[in-house]
Amino acid sequence: MVKYNDLLKILKIKFTHEELLDRAFNHRSFLNETKNKIESNERLEFLGDTVLSFVVSDFLYNSYPQYSEGYLTNLRSSLVKTSTLAKIASKLHLGDFLKLSKGEEESGGKNNSSLMADTFEALIGAIYLGLGLKAAKKIIEQHIFPMIPGIIKDKSYKDAKSTFQEIVQENTKNSPLYQVIKETGPDHAKEFTIGVYVNSKLWGSGAGHNKQEAEQSAATSALENWNKK
């Protein structure tokens, strides 16, 4: 467990299930690089995504009784979206532990927002299996809940794609154009990278497991770049 000591200190947990942590950091591309019979992190990612959504939903429901279902849904989406989880994964240095194929690593896999968000979800899944819901909830409380006041204040819970379209149409009278830049992965686990363009200029790009998610991520990136201009 020595290799995970720094991570466990940051997470403030004691964890003895090394095989679960190892699995949480096995990207599917790595399975072709080893002769050992190992499992990818995809099942843990699936579980972690469910735990994350439940814990966040439960907290929002009980903490904000004044908000409607639609408002809470947008707020939750903002908290569990790819870009948010990728930032947390980066803060926790999860890329240091992630095992990728040589090709995936050389193509910048450890800087891929979608891939890093998936890794965080897999970690939550591993902690849930090893220590239970209380421990997983503690991690989510530490790293996600503190973002809520800022998101409400900045109204960044609003749909990024709609917001970017309103801004672009107001300033240019044109609409943003979304185009697929890259498509990777097998049919059952596709990953899309999409760019958003205004007057042929790329303003942002984002990745996701479906085109809608990737477009939202691209719009979020575009909004950040638009505000910097």
Q: Is 213 one of the annotated binding-site residues?
A: no
Q: Do residues 177 and 197 make contact, with C-beta atoms less than 8 angstroms apart?
A: yes
Residue-averaged pLDDT of the chain: 89
Mean pLDDT over 30-44 rounds to 85
Q: Specify the fold of 2-152.
A: Ribonuclease iii, N-terminal Endonuclease Domain; Chain A (1.10.1520)
pLDDT above 80 (res 209)? yes
d(CA 72, CA 75): 5
CA torsion angle for 123, 129, 130, 136 (degrees, to 10)?
60
Average confidence (pLDDT) over 192-208: 94
Q: Domain boundaries in the chain?
A: 2-152, 160-228
Whether the predicted pLDDT of 2 surpasses 80: no
Residue 158 confidence (pLDDT) above 80:
no
Query: Is pLDDT at 113 greater than 70 in this prediction?
Result: yes
Sheet with 191-198: strands ordered across: 177-184, 191-198, 201-208
Annotated ligand binding at 45? The verdict is yes
pLDDT band for position 159 (cuts 50, 70, 90):
confident
Q: What is the pLDDT of residue 1?
A: 63
What pLDDT sits at residue 61?
97
Tokens of 49: 């995504």
Ligand-binding annotation for 118, yes or no, is yes
Segment 50-108, tens digit of pLDDT: 999 999 999 999 999 998 887 888 889 889 988 899 999 999 999 999 998 888 877 77
The DSSP letter of residue 94 is G
The pLDDT tens digits of the residues spanning 5-14 come to 889 999 999 8
Whether residue 131 is predicted with pLDDT greater than 80 in this model: the reply is: yes
CATH 3.30.160.20 fits 160-228, yes or no: yes
The CA distance from 42 to 26, in Å, is 9
Active site residues: 49, 121
Q: Radius of gyration (Cα) for the chain, nearest Å?
A: 18
